[in-house]
Amino acid sequence: MQNEEELLHEVTNKEYEYGFETNIESDTIAPGLSEDVVRRISKKKDEPQWLLDWRLKAFAIWKNMKEPEWAHVKYPKPDFQAISYYSAPKPKKELASLDEVDPEILKTMERLGISLEEQKKLTGVAIDFVIDSVSVATSFKEKLGELGIIFCSMSEAIKEHPELVRKYLGTVVPQSDNFYAALNSAVFTDGSFCYIPKGTRCPMELSTYFRINESGTGQFERTMVIADEGSYVSYLEGCTAPQRDENQLHAAVVELIALDNAEIKYSTVQNWYPGDKNGLGGVFNFVTKRGICHKRSKISWTQVETGSAVTWKYPSCILKGDYSIGEFFSVAVTNNYQQADTGTKMIHLGKHTKSTIISKGISSGHSQNSYRGLVQISKNAINSRNFSQCDSLLMTDHCGAHTFPYIEVNNQSSMVEHEATTSKIGEDKIFYCKQRGISEEKAIGLIVNGYAKEVLNKLPMEFAVEAQKLLEISLENSVG
Amino acid sequence: MIKITNLHASVEGTEILKGINLEIKPGEVHAIMGPNGSGKSTLASVLAGREDYEITEGSIEFLDKDLLDMDIDVRAKEGLFLAFQYPVEIPGVSNVNFLKAAINEKRKYFGQDDISAKEFLTAVKENSALVELDGKLKNRSVNEGFSGGEKKRNDIFQMAMLQPKFAILDETDSGLDIDALQVVAKGVNAMRNDNRSFLIITHYQRLLDYIVPDFVHVLYDGQIVKSGTKELAMEMEEKGYDWIKNN
Ligand SMILES: Nc1ncnc2c1ncn2[C@@H]1O[C@H](COP(=O)(O)OP(=O)(O)O)[C@@H](O)[C@H]1O
Ligand SMILES: [Mg+2]
Instruction: Looking at the CA of B43, name the nearest ligand.
Output: 1
> Any CB–CB contact under 8 A between B112 and chain A?
no
Residue of A nearest to B79 (CA): A437
Amino acid at A306: T
pLDDT tens, per residue, chain A with 480 residues: 345 455 444 433 444 444 445 555 566 777 788 999 999 999 988 999 999 999 999 999 999 998 888 878 788 888 888 887 876 654 434 445 556 555 655 554 455 554 454 434 333 344 455 544 444 344 566 678 889 999 888 988 999 999 999 999 999 999 999 999 999 999 998 888 999 999 999 988 887 654 444 444 457 889 999 999 999 999 988 754 444 445 578 899 999 999 999 999 999 888 777 777 777 778 888 899 999 999 999 999 999 988 778 888 999 999 999 999 999 999 998 888 888 889 999 999 999 999 999 999 999 888 889 999 999 999 999 999 999 999 999 988 888 899 999 999 999 999 999 999 998 888 899 999 999 999 998 899 899 999 999 999 898 876 787 777 778 777 765 655
- Contact of A429 with chain B, judged by CB distance below 8 Å, is answered with yes
Cβ-defined contact of B105 to A442 (cutoff 8 Å): yes
Say if B162 is an interface residue toward chain A (CB within 8 Å). yes
Which ligand sits closest to the CA of B42?
1
Judge if the beta carbon of residue B42 lies within 6 A of ligand 1: yes
What is the value of pTM for the model shown?
0.80
Q: Is B204 on the interface with A (CB under 8 A)?
A: no
Ligand closest to CA B86? 2
pLDDT number for residue A1 = 39
Residue in B73, B97, B141 closest to A439 by CB: B73
Point out the least confidently predicted range of A9-13, A308-312, B19-23, B30-34: A9-13
Residue of B nearest to A434 (CA): B73
Pick the residue of A1, A2, A432 with the most B CBs within 10 A to test the interface with B by mutation.
Answer: A432
C-alpha B42 to ligand 1 mean position (Å): 6
CB contact (8 A) between residue A435 and residue B101: no
Q: What is the pLDDT of residue A23?
A: 52
For residues A276 and A16, give the distance between their C-alpha atoms in angstroms, rounded to a whole number: 8
Cα pseudo-dihedral B41, B45, B50, B54, rounded to 10: 80
Residue nearest to atom 16 of ligand 1 (CA): B39
Residue type, B64: D
Q: Which of B42, B55, B217 to mutate to test the pocket of ligand 1 (most atoms within 8 A of CB)?
A: B42
High-pLDDT (> 70) share of chain B, %: 99
Nearest CA in chain B to A457: B92
Q: Does ligand 1 have an atom closer than 6 angstroms to the CB of B23?
A: no
**Does residue B16 line the site of ligand 1, with CB under 6 A?**
yes
- Amino acid B231: pLDDT: 87
Angle B95-109/B148-162 helices, nearest 10 degrees? 30
How far is B234 from chain A, CA to nearest CA, in Å? 32
Amino acid identity at A15: E
CB atoms B102 and A438 under 8 Å: yes
Of the listed ranges A307-321, B147-161, B230-244, the least confidently predicted one is: B230-244
B239: pLDDT confidence band, cut at 50, 70 and 90? confident
pLDDT tens-digit readout, B83-101: 999 999 999 999 999 999 9
Find the CB nearest A432 among B88, B99, B162.
Answer: B88
Q: Where are the alpha helices (DSSP H) in A382-478?
A: 427-435, 440-451, 453-456, 461-474
To the nearest whole Å, the CA of B173 is away from the closest chain A CA by: 19
Q: Considering only CB atoms, which chain B residues are within 8 Å of A455?
A: none
CA of A430 from ligand 1 middle (Å) equals 20
Distance from CA of residue B203 to its chain's centroid? 14
Nearest listed ligand to the Cα of residue B221: 1
pLDDT in tens, B104-145: 999 999 999 999 999 999 999 999 998 888 878 888 999 999
pLDDT at A243: 40
List chain A domain ranges.
Answer: 26-313
CB pairs under 8 A between A and B: 77
pLDDT at A277: 72
DSSP string across A1-67: ---HHHHHHHHHTPPPTT-------EEEPPS---HHHHHHHHHHTT--HHHHHHHHHHHHHHHT---
The pLDDT value recorded for residue B40 is 95
Q: Is B213 in the pocket of ligand 1 (CB under 6 A)?
A: no
Q: What value of ipTM does the predicted structure carry?
A: 0.95
Question: What integer pLDDT is reported at residue B138 of this predicted model?
Answer: 81
Say if residues A174 and A161 touch (Cβ distance below 8 Å). no
Interface membership of A1 toward B (CB under 8 Å): yes
Cβ separation of B92 and A439 shorter than 8 Å?
Answer: no
- Enter the DSSP assignment of A121: I
Determine the atom of ligand 1 nearest the C-alpha atom of B35. Answer: 22
Q: What residue type is assigned to position A153 of the chain? A: S
Task: Give the pLDDT score at A140.
Answer: 63
**Ligand 1 contact via B36 beta carbon (within 6 Å):** yes
- Within 8 A of A454 by CB-CB distance, chain B residues are 92
CA dihedral B64, B66, B68, B73 (to 10 degrees): -70
The one-letter amino acid code at A449 reads N
